Every structure is written in C-alpha cells, then in structure tokens.
Amino acid sequence: MKLLFPLLFVAFSLGLSLWAARRTRSAHAFFTAGGRVGTWQNGLALAGDYLSAAAFLGAAGMVATQGYDSMVYAVGTLLGWPLLMLLFSEKLRALGRYTVADVVATRFADKGVRLVTAANSLTVTLLYLVLQMVGAGKLMELLFGLPYSAALLLVGGLMLLYVVAGGMTATTWVQVSKALLMFACSLLLSLLVLLRFGSVEAFYEGVVGASPRGAAVFLPSPALSNPWELMSLGIGLSLGLLGLPHVLMRFFTVPDTRTAKRSAGLAGALIALFFSLNIVIGYGALALIAHNPAYADASGQMLGGNNMAAVHLAHILGGPLLESFVAAVALATILAVVAGLAMSGASTLAHDFYAQLFSTRPPSETQKLRVSRLATVALGLLAMALSSLVQHLNIAFLMGLAFAVAASSHFPVLFLSLFWRGFTSKGAMAAGLAGSFCALFCILTGPTVWVAILHNKTPLFPLENPALLSVPVGVVGGLVGSCFKRGG
C-alpha cells in the first residue's frame, strides 16, 4: 500500500519527461522551455521550486517540535516574495537569457565577473541540493526500508532521467503537478486535523496538553531570546529568496516582463496559503504524535526524525492509504525540486563555465546539451556524497543556511547591478567574493559545523546563521570595490 501513490507519481512524471524530450531539440528549449511558459504555469512552477522538502517535511516537523519558533522561517521567507516581485522579476526577464550570470554580464563584459557569479550560483545550488537529498534519503529509508545510501541513489537516478531527457519543459510540468498535489495534500491534512478534534478550542487544548511547554508552545522559546540570532535568520531568509538561482531562472522561461511579474505574485500568494495550512499540520502532529509510542524509536525520539512528522500524522488520520498519498507528495516534492536545482546547476556549468570561459570558440547546440547533461550527473553525485555528512540535521534549518549564502553572494551583486549606475566590474567581483566567503566561513566556524559536526567545544563565530554579518560584508565589498578605477 505504501508504494501505490509514489509509484503512480514516478510513472506519471517519467511520462512527462519522455513527452518533453520530443520537444527539446535546442539549448534554448532545454534551459528555458523555449520562453513560452504562461503566468499560471510559471506561478505554480515557482511555488513548486520554492516549496521544497524543507517547506513540506522540515517545516511541519519544526512546528511539531519547536512550535512558535518555526514561524520565523515561514514569515522570513514570505517577506522575500513581494521584494522579488517588485525589485527583480521584470528586470530579470528583460536582461537574462539562461542564468543569473547572464543578468550581470549585460552590465559588465568581464569574464571574471561571470566566473564569480557562476561559482556562487553553483555553491548555492549545491547547498540546496544537499538538503533535498537529506529529505529524500530519510523519507525512502522510513517508508520503504531502504538504506540511506540506496535511497539517495534511487532519487538521484530519477532526477537524472527527468533533467537529462526533458530539460526545463519536463521540469516545469513536474513542478506544476507537484505544486497541485502539495496544495491538495496540505488542505486535506489540515481539514482532517480539525475534524479529528471537532473544534478550534479542542485543537488548542490538545496541543497544549501534548507539549512539555504547555501554552508556551504558542509563544517564542528561549532559543529566540538572542535578538542577533533572530535578526540574522530573518535577513537571510527574506533576502535569500532573491538570490536562489533555480528560482531566478524561472523568469527566463516566460515570454515577457508582465508575465514574469504576475507569476511571481501568484507564487507568493500560493506559498502564503501553504504555510498557513502547515501551521495546522505541524501542531496537529504535535498533539497526536507526541505521546504515541508507535511513532517513537528506542530512544524516545520521533521515528525517522522530526522531518517525518507529516507522514506519521497522515497514518494516524487516514491509515496506510493516506500515508502513501502523503509519501508520494513528499517524494514528488523532492524529485521536482532536485530536478529544478539540477537544471540550474547544469545551465551554469554549460552556459557560463564551458561556453563562455573554457571553450575556444562558441560551442554548438549539441555540445551545450551534452555538457549540461554531464554536469547534471556530476552535481547529483556530489550532492549525494555531501548529504551523508548532514543527514541528521533538520532540513528546514539547512534551508536557512542555503538562503544565507544566497543572500550574501547573489543579492548584493544583483541589487547593485540593477539599481546603481556607479557599480563597476571590480565592485561586482568584490561583492560576490566577500559575501560568499564570509558566509561560508561563518557557517564552517559556527555552532552547526564547528561544534555539532567537527566536535569542537566552542564556535569561532557565535551565530548559527551568518547573514547578519555576511550580507553587509557583501554590500560593503561592492561599494568599496566600485571606488577603484572602473573596469566595466
């Protein structure tokens, strides 16, 4: 029974990829679906790209275990959508062709700027791909009894089939179908939770009774008592969206700037609805799973980790059939997002590194397609290897780190390129390098890596999220770099 809906979705999505493969004959079609994606398609695909395993599995698990604290992630990321719609959507469509580096290259005819921007795109894409692989491995491990490594190989193989065969056309339609499934699943789970308790008052009492913190579960915990940590997280989440390559490249798939802006607005509204439903799902999981030994391992922790809260809740509310449906949605979420990320990485490697920097003459369409497909394989293998190191961390938390790197590296370069006439090529390189290196250094020396993974006693950088320092460093780097003699 657990395999029913996952197998149906895999068969459906593979059919989409084969259909799209017949329509993917050029690099333009492979990378941007020919620029023919409409408003509602791109809006749903944008929502699908953004609503990853972190949003569906990680966020629900975070609500179930941390209560109010998880709202910071929802609100922080939602703040980015109005900014994306108002600041970037139209300009990206007008200036970009395949990648984020194309946008910067329209301002600066400098290969060094393109190289730095492309390297930052790959870094962010890889970080985001790693957290999706963690969600995939844990889900398949729990539901199907597969070892973590075998689950990663299965998901990676399916991802390669989607991208290598159908390119952006297949990825777009997989994202659209996944987004529709996710909204249907969230609405169904939320309604079943409320029906289970009978009233909002009973639901509230059930959550309070199940939480060790009592009514304080609806209030900020001591973990949010550090205002610097909270501010850093908020900056990273809100500005990070404006630097995610796989989201930004969606604006290159639409026919005009008006469609770009409308699709961004539609995506923001859909995501706000999803996070509202996720609050009910997460608190419902807390009320119904907290003291249920059937969903706890030998140590008393949630079976499969807190990322599996929504899956366990589905089993309680609807038995194996609903559990299978939710598992299929979670699997669809992961496969669709990793396909979008792989497309972003493949575009950067083929279009920016190979075509612009390392090829002695302009490559043919066939060569671009071959390089992009090889790049997809390389990215997938690297992400699977790295995910083994962080498989025990909450994927919503890992998402926050990926957002921080995106906010620190891409946002300063794009914002200054699009809105400041005095910005120079030296400033662009300084902003990209300073922001990304600062963010990565703070992550590596902070509590998550330096203490939790490397087992040192105290972190060198005190905050878990680096954005409070690294975003200003990126902006200041761009300002200072532009004070020197212009090079572009």
- The reported pLDDT for the residue numbered 28 is 62
CA distance 410 to 392: 28
Query: Mean pLDDT across the stretch 381-397?
Result: 73
State percent of the chain over pLDDT 90: 18
What burial class does residue 419 get, using C-beta atoms within 10 Å of its C-beta: 0-12 exposed, 13-18 middle, 19+ buried? exposed
CA distances in angstroms from 335 to 1, 6, 142, 245, 332, listed in the order given: 21, 11, 17, 17, 5
The whole model's pTM is what?
A: 0.79
Query: Mean pLDDT across the stretch 319-332?
Result: 84
CA distances in angstroms from 417 to 113, 341, 474, listed in the order given: 11, 24, 13
- Residue bearing the bigger pLDDT, 167 or 414: 414
- Residue bearing the bigger pLDDT, 450 or 487: 450
The count of other CB atoms within 10 Å of the CB of residue 385 is 13
Q: What pLDDT, in 10s, does the model give residues 177-233?
A: 888 888 898 999 999 999 999 998 999 999 998 888 888 888 877 767 788 988 898
- The reported pLDDT for the residue numbered 394 is 61
CA distances in angstroms from 460 to 135, 229, 285, listed in the order given: 29, 15, 36
- The reported pLDDT for the residue numbered 310 is 87
CA distances in angstroms from 179 to 25, 74, 118, 314, 332, listed in the order given: 27, 17, 28, 18, 9
Q: Which of 1.10.10.10, 1.20.1730.10, 3.20.20.150, 1.10.3210.10 would CATH assign to domain 4-481? A: 1.20.1730.10
Q: Write the single-letter amino acid at 168.
A: M
